[in-house]
Chains A and B, each alone.
Chain A
Amino acid sequence: MRFPAIIAKSLTVSARCLRVASLSAAPLFMPLSMGAAHAADAPLHIGYSDWPGWVAMQVAIDKGWFKDAGVDVKFEWFDYSASMDAYSAGKIDADLVTNGDALVMGGNGAKSVMIMLTDYSNGNDIIVGKAGTKGLKDLKGKKVGIEVGLVEHLLLIDGLTKAKMKETDVTLVNAKTNETPQVLASGDVAAAGAWQPVAGQAMKGAPGAHPLYTSAQAPGLIYDVLAVSPTSLNARKADWAKVLTVWDKTVAYIDDPKTQPDAVKIMAAKSGVPPEEYVKYLKGTKLLSVADARKVMVDKDGLGSLYGSSRNADAFNVKNSVYKTAQDVKSYIDPSLTNGK
């Protein structure tokens, strides 16, 4: 297993605990603050944060491609959880988030529509087994250290289902993700779930520990999306369509081996790390062009579809009391722009 992969992921996920509390107050203030940002001539305010699939936008920003495409956008650089606070408070028109978090914001009052996919997690969330465990099947009747309610929990359930097991076949030990290296090293648990780089540390700390199941085996468990406020989408649909065009151009530029070094340089500068280091992080992320996204934006079950993935996340969120009532996933997804309509 490659060590430090995507550290930014830690933020994406760790934000979840804080969010539920902070969002609940936000809708109260929405009527006060909504509206100003939706004037037809105002720039579209989009929140983005430190995750390779979203930092990719920096390439388009620096190159001036949005201007070239004739759309006035203003990207606001946030800490991930702060970006969701800002969206929930109605201070920005759109935010780059995971599909699960789009549901969480909506479930707590700040509805959004996912109009575009940026990427999906590709191997950075890992269930680490200690030496001697060969697969998830070996965990039957054993203890697994996991932070209940977070992405690794979702990943474990997904893996167990694939291995034809039930969640009750293992005993969950609730442990902070950052502490899983110590939990695994202590020998009290047979496996632990963590994201990178914590997972890497866990494997280093317990000799012989190795990945049992990773998000690479469950592509689509978490999608990263552009979630737009319904009001703004309704009023400025043509402008949002232009954003998609620019994104397509950006993905092509980053994926092209000829231009990739230049793109990485821009992205690395934004994240504050050397370019050679940033390449590693980029590898852990599968960027999705509009054509790629079209295949995912089809309503069917399973993680291959944004619908299926979101329903899965919705069920998980309800079960773990992130919000109370199941969300109508269909109303959260508008594939029309991705489909070019």
Chain B
Amino acid sequence: MTALPDTAYHHQSDAVQARFARIKARDVALRVQGLGKVFRTPKGGETIALRGIDIETHRREFLCVVGPSGCGKSTFVRILAGLETASSGTVFVDGQPVNGPGADRGMVFQGYTLFPWLSVLRNVMFGLEENGESRRTAAREAREWLSLVGLEFFADSYPHQLSGGMKQRVAIARALATRPRILLMDEPFSALDAQSRARMQAYLIEIWKKIDITIVFITHDLDEAVFLADRILVLSAHPGEIAELIEVPVSRPRSQGQMLEREFRATRARLDALIHPPDDEDDVKPAAIKPSIVTRLVAHGDEVE
């Protein structure tokens, strides 16, 4: 690891430094202490999915979680949501230990989890009604949330009539409607095409700016992580442990154009180094030129590269 010469991502501009100081001055919204998760295999063995995770995020922080496949990032966010129980350690939200799913944490899933039998409006109303709001209040609030995600004109549509990006915007509105402290997002844009994903990232940041919410965002797209996050929690695999907690030096407000900036590239390079170490890559040797039944030879001068 230390072999990597580029530590440029450590360098933060004054504005960025001031911003981090401001964030750290806010209350701790989420505290994870000594979190571990062990799965039992059917044969009686054990797999350690997560070990010794300690992290604090502050109110209105945007935390991304990245890591190689199998690092337990999904398990991590599911434990935060209360959908799975930790084998050890505790999760605190606003100082209160978490026990099962709760309205203080909203969740947006990777797949489309809108209820297909309900209209868009009724989907957003769902959580409000479950938490005791009258139908009328729920409908009024739901409309506001829909306009926040720009879908007020689709209130009476049904999920199967919407595009993937629109569905996820409804899902975000639905998760936010119950006014959670933390919004958990488990690779919410990974099923979308590149353009929609970029648009959704921008939307998400706009929403995040407007309301008081702390976001924990799981992704395997490293550019996405750098683009969105204040800090990036990098997990290693087998077992899932904290490899590094990176403070993203890219200034805000963010735009797609910043991807060419030095801070962005440096952070991205660091993530690459952490997640795809060079010795991990397959050695690709040029294929030996040998007549074989599957080789279709091409004429001299007809090469593509």
| A/B touching: CB–CB < 8 A | no
Listed in ascending order, the chain B residues whose CB lies under 8 Å from chain A are none
Listed in ascending order, the chain A residues whose CB lies under 8 Å from chain B are none
